[in-house]
């Protein structure tokens, strides 16, 4: 996959990192059960889901946060694909956070920080991108992340088939569909081009 619309190139070593990530998560998951993805095909599906919206991202993202990173989908995968962007992954569940630390070290991800706390408990900083998958409803996510959101922040929430129920009171958004997945992309200011 090549994301050329906004000049985001997938890292040359992304495929190799994905292979190593897959081995690592399959091994770790046998003991700690951190994800429902129990085989290589399921992990590949989650990796593809994580990177699918890259072509829709605006240019000039430098700082990103992922809320509720779990086993690394999507934040860790996006960090592997886009090493020019710094990702801070928030994961309060200890066994999942421990896996993220292991993956960061094993995959030599210098553009990743992991915070083993809930996002609302951390001193905020300005993020260019806020992403999250399968954490909570959109309005609650916006409240949890509000201190990280500025006028230039883009929000990317990986949603299911009920996304329409969650956007009734929202403006300035786009939805990109891929099967049962809906990628909800929102801007706090400005418009989509």
Instruction: Report the pLDDT averaged over residues 20-24.
Output: 97
Instruction: Report the pLDDT averaged over residues 144-158.
Output: 93
pTM above the 0.85 mark? yes
What is the pLDDT at residue 136? 84
Give tens-digit pLDDT for 61-105: 999 999 999 999 999 999 999 999 999 999 999 999 999 999 999
Residue 8 falls inside a structural domain: no
Residue 169 falls inside a structural domain: yes
- If pLDDT is split at 50, 70 and 90, which confidence band does 1 have? very low
d(CA 141, CA 127): 14
Residue 82 falls inside a structural domain: yes
Given the structure tokens 């994961």, which residue do they identify?
A: 91
Statement: residue 48 has pLDDT above 70: yes
Any residues with CB less than 8 A from the CB of 41 and at least 6 apart, and which?
Answer: none
Give tens-digit pLDDT for 100-113: 999 999 999 999 99
Give the CATH number, domain containing residue 143.
Answer: 3.40.50.150
Query: Range of 73's domain?
Result: 14-187
Residue 7 falls inside a structural domain: no
Instruction: Report the pLDDT averaged over residues 4-26.
Output: 87
Residue 125 falls inside a structural domain: yes
- Torsion angle of the four alpha carbons 79, 160, 122, 126, in this order, in degrees rounded to the nearest 10: 60
- If pLDDT is split at 50, 70 and 90, which confidence band does 4 have? very low
What is the pLDDT at residue 192? 54
Residue 1 falls inside a structural domain: no
Residue 178 falls inside a structural domain: yes
DSSP code per residue over 77-138: HHHHH-TTSEEEEE--SHHHHHHHHHHHHHTT-TTEEEE-S-GGGS-----SEEEEESSS-H
How many domains in the chain?
Answer: 1
Residue 150 falls inside a structural domain: yes
Tokens representing 25 are 């998560």
């Amino acid at each position: 996959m090549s994301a050329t619309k906004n000049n985001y190139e997938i890292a040359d070593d992304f495929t190799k990192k994905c292979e190593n990530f897959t081995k690592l998560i399959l091994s770790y998951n046998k003991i700690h059960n951190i994800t429902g993805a129990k085989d290589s095909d399921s992990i590949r599906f989650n990796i593809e889901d994580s990177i699918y919206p890259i072509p829709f991202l605006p240019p000039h993202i430098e700082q990103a946060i992922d809320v509720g990173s779990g086993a690394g989908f999507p934040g860790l995968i996006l960090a592997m694909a886009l090493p020019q962007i710094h990702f801070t992954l928030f994961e309060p569940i200890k066994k999942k956070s421990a896996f993220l630390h292991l993956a960061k070290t094993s995959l030599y991800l210098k553009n990743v920080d992991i915070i083993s706390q809930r996002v609302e408990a951390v001193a905020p900083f300005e993020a260019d991108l806020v992403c999250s998958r399968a954490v909570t409803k959109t309005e609650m996510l916006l409240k949890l992340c509000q201190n990280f959101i500025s006028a230039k922040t883009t929000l990317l929430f990986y949603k299911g088939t009920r996304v329409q129920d969650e956007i009734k009171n929202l403006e300035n958004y786009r939805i990109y569909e891929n099967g049962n997945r809906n990628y909800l992309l929102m801007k706090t200011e400005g418009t989509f081009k």
